[in-house]
Amino acid sequence: MTVSLTKVFSAKPGWYCGDFHAHTTCSDGVFSPRGLRDLASEHGLDFLSITDHNAIRALDEFGGTGSSDDNYPLMVIPGLEITLIQGHINIFGFEGNTPWAQELFQTIVDRPNYDVYMQGKEHAELDNLLRKIRAAGLLTDVCHPLLPPWEWRDLQTDIDLFTCVELINDPTYGGAYGPVDNPTANPATRRMWSAWLNAGYRVTALGGTDFHSLEPSDDPKRLSLLNLPRTYVYASELSCQAILEGVRKHHVYVSMGPKIEFKASQNGIDFMMGDDLGDSLDLMHFSARVEGCTGPSVARLVKNGDVFSESHIKEGKFEFEWKLMAEKGASAWFRFDVIGHDPVTNADDQSLAISNPIFVGPALNPQGLTFGSFLSG
């Protein structure tokens, strides 16, 4: 059944918040598709992507409008978490459980229950599948790429096959099934993403709650949340098509609570996170604002992965400004990070809010670098 990607839930341009990774009873979640949608609405989200493991049946409940109720305010974005022994990757941009999607994902979806989580593909077959998905104009979001035992294992995968990376995955996960927890894996993913950006891969960072249940099976005592992290996308309107276009433009930030702004201006022209200032020798004026911090943290202007400037902040609202000259012919990117102690996980060095970069200078043209190229050791 087709889900409309063009149905408009709000005609206003602006920042919309949602989640790009959640599961229903159609895979290993405990909420029905409508129940999950209702829970997301209760949490104040504007959109939710249902990304069941190797299944798209849940999307039948939202066929035709993007909601099972034409007047329902929350928008459902069709998604799929391709789940393989080699790793997990979310797919966005298709129109639900349609014959076209069934054909594209024919080796993935509707497998026998015992086979859902045990599928494996050799590199050549996986590479071909991802190239078909990208050629179809869909977005790919590599999930929890450094979290064992579900890390991305196909070390030969070209980075240019990833449209997005899940920068913050379920921050409450404590590593019950592997040697690493997300308070460790998420900062490692942040560092790896910076290396991708330095190499010239303009991959959009998203967040994903990876929500399954309010009482997760690995540890019923931990608090699993459908609203943390939140992913904010600037879009021309609230429609699936506009949100995904905002993702393609990198007009995105991920947050564990604080709201941020990050802008640049040059020669009287304003730019937002994700934009490209081009190549010039002119003065650049960067500005940032953060509000909603619940404790001490550090606000950083990051240039090419290194801290260019930082300020220690406490609770409340803070604004920052930086001025510097562009270097003709030098490729660079600037990002605004709020790093600190996360009260949800009781862990340090966590991304409390992090923008996608503003790019400066000529774009690089990387070729042939693989996932394994960026793994140390």
Dihedral sign for Cα atoms in the order 188, 194, 195, 200: positive
- Is-above-0.85 flag for pTM? yes
**DSSP state string for 93-152:** SS-BS-HHHHHHTTTTSS--GGGTT-----HHHHHHHHHHHHHTT-EEEE-STTSTTSS-
Q: How, if at all, do strands 204-208 and 164-169 pair?
A: parallel
pLDDT at 112: 67
* 7, HSE (Cβ side, Cα atoms, 13 Å): 23
pLDDT at 22: 98
Return the CATH architecture of domain 259-360. Sandwich (2.60)
pLDDT at 115: 64
pLDDT at 176: 80
Residue 171 CA to residue 344 CA, distance in Å, equals: 8
Stated as kind and residue range, the H or E segment containing 198 is: helix 182-199
The ranges of the chain annotated as CATH 2.60.40 are 259-360
Residue 290's nearest CA partner among 253, 235, 332 is 253
Dihedral sign for Cα atoms in the order 93, 160, 126, 208: negative
Q: What is the DSSP letter of 15?
A: E
Residue 93 CA to residue 77 CA, distance in Å, equals: 8
Cα distance between the two ends of the chain:
46
Topology at the third CATH level for domain 14-255: TIM Barrel (3.20.20)
The ranges of the chain annotated as CATH 3.20.20.140 are 14-255
User: Which distant-in-sequence residues (6+ apart) come within 8 Å of 255 by Cβ?
Assistant: 207, 229, 230, 231, 232, 352, 353, 354
Q: What is the chain's pLDDT, residue by residue, as a tens digit (377 residues)?
A: 799 999 999 999 999 999 999 999 999 999 999 999 999 999 999 999 999 999 999 999 997 544 445 678 999 999 999 999 999 999 999 999 999 999 999 989 977 665 667 788 999 999 999 999 999 999 999 999 999 999 999 999 999 999 999 999 999 898 788 888 999 999 999 999 999 999 999 999 999 999 999 988 777 777 788 999 999 999 999 999 999 999 999 999 999 999 999 999 999 999 999 999 999 889 999 999 999 998 889 999 999 999 999 999 988 889 999 999 999 999 999 999 999 988 888 889 999 999 999 999 999 999 889 999 999 75
User: Which distant-in-sequence residues (6+ apart) come within 8 Å of 346 by Cβ?
Assistant: none
